[in-house]
Structure 1
Amino acid sequence: MGILNATPDSFSDGGKYIAYDDALRRAEQMLRDGVDIIDIGGESTRPGAPPVPLDEELERVIPLVEKLKGANVPLSVDTYKPEVMRHAIAAGADLVNDIWGFRMPGAIDAVRESHCGLCVMHMLGEPQTMQLGEPDYADVVREVREFLAARCAELEAAGVAKARISVDPGFGFGKAVIEHNYALLAHLRETAPEVAPGVASYPILAGMSRKSMLGALVNRLAPERVAASVAAAVCAAERGAAIIRVHDVAPTVDALKVWAAMHEAMGEAMGARPA
């Protein structure tokens, strides 16, 4: 999943693709690089980011969805506003990626009659305050899983098919930079609730690209965290992520090709590919 931030203030590439033509060129580059999904966002959700007025977010996002609909890859819209969800679905979006986990009033109503996919993310607090104090969990993996299970259950009770739902543990969204984020990465499969008892879990989206959990280890600014982001992407794939959300599509695609080839070779040698 390639990130297309049509925002002036995103933590890593804010302002680079705020102009419509620049955003289109960025999307075209990601397509050449082998992107599978393009995730379009019109409001930064970095810690401390202020909300964007509805009309402004619509102006940033909807023209891109309409233009890119013919790009032959699924389009995701990164929003928590019900009205943006409605307009994006009408414009042809294939996935709604909601950091609030469809908790905003009207969010479930905005998506339940559609056929688009839904990604439910865990966030402790809200973007303006989520990293101001030290986030506190007794067991971060269990608590994230329980939150996601409750949100999935509410969506399904409203008539949303299980097959439409994926989940995101929310790296960096109300998590201690090292302790909680790396516990979630190490136990990524366990963050996703089961679809039903004894049945495989919901697909997992992992978004760690260029985040502070990487910067804290490598001591580099966000644009310089490409190698760390690629390493995190491979770790996420190894631990069961179905979707990996990244800024740097080409190096991530290359790394995952190597990872997949290794597992294919292991499968040939061992008689079965590892899960």
Structure 2
Amino acid sequence: MTDTTFSVRVPGGTLELTPGRPALMGIVNANPDSFSDAVRLTALDQQVEHARRLVADGASIIDVGGESGVTYTGVTAEEVEIERVVPLVERLAAEGIVVSVDTWKPAVAEAAIVAGAAILNDVSGLRDERLAEICARTGAALVVMHTRAVPKQEHFHDYAGDVAGDVVAFLQERVAVARAAGVHDEQLILDPGPDFAKTPAETVQSLHAIDTVNALGRPVLHAISRKYFVGAITRQPPAERGAGTLAAAGWSADHGAAILRVHDVRAAADFLAVKAVLDGTAPMPDFDADDDALKWIRATPQRTA
């Protein structure tokens, strides 16, 4: 899966994405109700610092969200979501960080792209076609995701036993809508939508057929971090799904993921680095053989009373 590199067009340049050697998209939630964040980062400076750490840990894209996708809270007003994401996008873009904005609202998307966001990560499956028009006009890249659910509403669709076929048919139809709005192929990224309008078993079924999504000829984003299907397999709550997420990340890399959307960027980067060396797709890196910290832990003597 590593013999093809996609050049994804974004305002002012391109992103080079290679299937099987996924770029890491770090997550910064600027909302108070994310399903997976044990600690809420409510202050702008905290959010900026967290994004910087993710970049230092290996993220090449930062995905900023001002509204959680959970269905137990209501829809966030556009003006509130804009207040949450625009200052953060401005700060990160000013530092040269590639920013994605996770929203399904045209007004929020427009404001975030004007502020410097390079990618629109639309989790609605282009339910509002104005989102495609905004990307066509601004040159922002567009993530087209499979979902049969209205945003913020829980819904399980009847796929008649063929969820994988529905994923491909839906993405083809939505890509056609984006093209008709003026979005170029080079702006498009595809997402099979794990857990969106799918039971955990249906998510697994759709991922088993991921080659059919890869065959559509655009880079594929795998948003697998701490997802419900991982919890259903491991029987772990979101905060304890790190190991399961890494297993999903390894599988995704082996099956052509071009982007991995993850919370724990450092763990994912380390995992992929070791995997690449063991797979023979990357050389053994240089390291300091005199660095004792690489060899053992020096215990700190305990004080006696």
**TM-score under structure 1 length normalisation:** 0.88
Counterpart position of 2:95: 71
Q: SS at 2:139's partner residue?
A: coil
- Aligned: 1:184 with 2:200: no
Cα distance in 2, alignment partners of residues 164 and 14 from structure 1: 34
| Paired residues for 1:127-138 under 5 Å | 127-131=151-155, 134-138=156-160
Of 52, 74, 83, 1:59 maps to 83
CA pair 34-125 structure 1, distance change in 2 beyond 3 A: same
Q: SS at 2:280's partner residue?
A: helix
- Aligned: 1:6 with 2:23: no
- Which structure ranks higher in relative contact order (CA pairs < 8 Å, sequence separation ≥ 6)? 2
RMSD of aligned Cα (Å): 1.8
Of 159, 163, 166, 2:182 maps to 159
Check whether the contact 1:140–1:180 (CA below 8 A) recurs between aligned residues: yes
Check whether the contact 1:146–1:193 (CA below 8 A) recurs between aligned residues: no
CA pair 238-63 structure 1, distance change in 2 beyond 3 A: same
Cα distance in 2, alignment partners of residues 242 and 140 from structure 1: 22
Per-residue deviation, 1:18: 2.4
| Paired residues for 1:247-258 under 5 Å | 247-258=263-274
Number of corresponding residues: 258
Counterpart position of 1:149: 172
| Paired residues for 1:1-275 under 5 Å | 1-13=25-37, 16-104=40-128, 106-131=130-155, 134-138=156-160, 139-177=162-200, 179-192=201-214, 194=216, 201-264=217-280
Per-residue deviation, 1:266: 9.6
Cα displacement string for residues 153-200 of structure 1 (whole angstroms, at most 9, x for unaligned residues): 1111121110000110110111011x2111122222213452xxxxxx
Check whether the contact 1:2–1:246 (CA below 8 A) recurs between aligned residues: yes
Q: Which runs of 5+ in 2 are unaligned?
A: 1-24, 284-305
Check whether the contact 2:214–2:256 (CA below 8 A) recurs between aligned residues: no
CA pair 145-105 structure 1, distance change in 2 beyond 3 A: closer
> Which residue identity is paired with 1:164?
Q
Check whether the contact 1:6–1:18 (CA below 8 A) recurs between aligned residues: yes
**TM-score under structure 2 length normalisation:** 0.80
Q: Which has the higher helix share?
A: 1
CA pair 57-262 structure 1, distance change in 2 beyond 3 A: same
Cα displacement string for residues 50-99 of structure 1 (whole angstroms, at most 9, x for unaligned residues): 21001110011000110011333311000111111111111111100001
Per-residue deviation, 1:107: 2.0
Check whether the contact 2:133–2:183 (CA below 8 A) recurs between aligned residues: no
Q: Which runs of 5+ in 1 are unaligned?
A: 195-200, 268-275
Residue identity (%): 39
Cα distance in 1, alignment partners of residues 184 and 33 from structure 2: 35
Check whether the contact 1:58–1:84 (CA below 8 A) recurs between aligned residues: yes
Cα distance in 2, alignment partners of residues 17 and 266 from structure 1: 36
Q: Which has the higher strand share?
A: 2
Q: SS at 1:113's partner residue?
A: helix
